[in-house]
Amino acid sequence: MKNKIAYMGLFLSFALILSYVESLVPFYFGVPGVKLGLANLAVLLALYRYGWKEALALNLARVFLSGFLFGNLFMVMYSLAGAAGSFMVMCLLKRAKGFSIIGVSMAGGVCHNIGQILVAYFVTRTAGVAFYLPVLLAAGLVTGLLIGLLAREAAKYMGKEFVKNL
Amino acid sequence: MREKIKRNDVYLFLVIAFAAFFLFFWRSCAASGRGTAAVVSRNGETIGSYPLHTDGRIVLTGDGGGRNVLVIRDGEAYMEEADCPDKLCVKQGPVGKNGESIICLPHKLAVQIIGGETGEADVLAR
């Protein structure tokens, strides 16, 4: 594929801009761990354009870069855990064929939040964090649905050539 | 391209939505009402328990020497200040319902609200 490195650079800057937007607007829903996950839009599109290896590289790069640009080492570790679980499930569901980009995105949102709850549990050793599980499940579902719809619309405008695996 | 929502997407949505609702109702049945005390733990070890009916201001030392100030007022507990970078615990605001908690991940602190009406009813039954 031509210009792949250039496009990967574009994807990465797209992901970073989305992270920046998310860090500017305080999407705070009153429950710890609920985030919009805008940057996942770039990861999803890269996953469908190239495949899991490229999307994984993009995902790692954006977690480290956005973590250090707009956060700190602690946030990097925290979001790595969420991103790892979410990414694996998204790759599996995409491969499973029966799901559209919307289903893949919803599963990613939900798994991201489950991953964060697990981190909270292992760090604090408090089972009480499970109290927030229902809210985080619902929130991950809704944000994942939104990001999935956005990704589908974006892919529509980018065209068949650009997002060929859709 | 013109990809439609697939049947599995709908199933996935329904399963997760159902799970969330189920857990939510299960949670509201298992624990409800106002809490009676705030239990503070660090690294999973309880380091203090403070009744919610006594107003107070507690300075907590987190893992790695971090500092958090927990305030108890009008039956609710909230984190007044923290020297961690993200300050999510401060942004969270007051908690007072049975089962709610404030987590400060950088300092490995957890404030959990316990007690509530179900707890007292159990004691009376015995």
In this structure, is residue B11 part of a structural domain?
no
Yes or no: say if A67 and B85 are a contact pair by the CB < 8 Å rule: no
Q: How many CB atoms lie within 10 A of CB A98?
A: 12
A26 φψ region: left (φ > 0), alpha (ψ -120 to 50), beta (else): beta
SS3 B46: strand
In this structure, is residue B109 part of a structural domain?
yes
Within 8 A by CB and 6+ apart from A98, the residues are B6, B7, B8
Nearest to A126 among B1, B93, B112 (CB): B112
Residue-range definition of the domain harbouring residue B78: 37-125
In this structure, is residue B46 part of a structural domain?
yes
Give the lowest-confidence range in A141-150, A153-162, B96-105. A153-162
Nearest-neighbour CA in chain A from B14: distance (Å): 10
Contacts of B107 in chain A (CB under 8 A): none
Number of domain units in chain B: 1
| Residue spans of alpha helices (H) in chain B | 7-30, 88-92, 117-125
pLDDT tens digits along B41-100: 998 889 999 999 999 999 999 888 889 999 999 989 999 999 987 788 888 888 888 888
Instruction: Provide the whole-model pTM.
Output: 0.83
Pick one of 3.60.9.10, 3.40.50.2300, 3.40.50.80, 1.10.1760.20 as the CATH number of A4-158: 1.10.1760.20
In this structure, is residue B29 part of a structural domain?
no
A103/B93 CB distance under 8 A: no
In this structure, is residue B9 part of a structural domain?
no
B93 φψ region: left (φ > 0), alpha (ψ -120 to 50), beta (else): left
Q: What average pLDDT does the segment A39-65 reach?
A: 94
In this structure, is residue B80 part of a structural domain?
yes
Give the lowest-confidence range in A33-47, A134-148, B21-35, B91-105. B21-35
Q: How far apart are CA B119 and CA B98, in angstroms?
A: 9
pLDDT tens digits along A85-113: 999 999 999 999 889 999 999 999 999 99
Residue of B nearest to A78 (CA): B105
Q: Measured in whole angstroms, how far is the alpha carbon of residue A148 from the centre of its chain? A: 10
pLDDT range class, residue B119, cuts 50, 70, 90: very low
A133/B23 CB distance under 8 A: yes
Nearest to B88 among A32, A102, A141 (CB): A32
In this structure, is residue B4 part of a structural domain?
no
Give the lowest-confidence range in A37-41, A64-68, A108-112, A127-131. A127-131
Nearest to B9 among A102, A135, A160 (CB): A102
A26: pLDDT strictly greater than 70: no
In this structure, is residue B6 part of a structural domain?
no
Q: How far apart are CA B31 and CA A128, in angstroms?
A: 12
Tally C-beta pairs within 8 A across A and B. 114
Q: Which CATH number do you get for residue B108? A: 2.60.320.10
Mean model confidence pLDDT for chain A:
88
Q: How far apart are CA A36 and CA A147, in angstroms?
A: 8
Res B3: pLDDT: 66
Yes or no: say if B77 and B103 are a contact pair by the CB < 8 Å rule: no
